[in-house]
Amino acid sequence: MIPWLNKIRENVMVKKQVLALFDDAAKAADANEAVMKEGVKPGDIEIMTGCPYPEGAFGEHDKPHRVYRFPFIGALLGFSMAMLITAGTQLSWPLITGGKPILSLPPMVIIAYEGTLLGAVLFTIVGVLFESRLPRVGLGLYDDRITEGYIGLLLNVTEDNDFAIKKLLQKHGAQELKEEG
């Protein structure tokens, strides 16, 4: 079979959400590991807790972030815009004083510095919001008991492996299973 065709079919497959509630962190970690062995991709698994746990406590993969790219892009855009505005302003209204050049660098450097910082700060804020997936339009499945100490394992599963995943979660000690729809 053609590899790219499989990728398209995989993306087109209808996925639904299943939320499993666990009362113990060890059970949730075991279930997470078993679900990944069953074939659910790490990107389709989300662990929800009401209290902080160390990174990787549930065997989840480390998601790479791209927050560091946003300030650089913002700084470049801010610098470019500042230079464009200052040069455009000086060329639009040329005030020749004492034979000095129309494009004066010392004032341009100050405006370029401010524009660079402004762009970097604004793009950093946008980057943090983007990487945090905020604002979230729909929360999807949720249970209030997660804030009371339960651990939620939210899975995006296909119709094909839905039944097997539910059985696996129950086998690993899920207190309750909820599904979308």
pLDDT band for position 159 (cuts 50, 70, 90): confident
pTM: 0.67
pLDDT per residue over 92-105, tens digit each? 999 888 888 889 89
What mean pLDDT value characterizes the chain? 89
Distance (Å, whole) CA 101 – CA 144: 68
User: What residue ranges define each of the domains in the chain, with the CATH number in brackets?
Assistant: 16-58+141-179 (3.30.70.120), 69-131 (no CATH)
Rg (CA), the chain: 26
pLDDT score of 7 more than 70: no
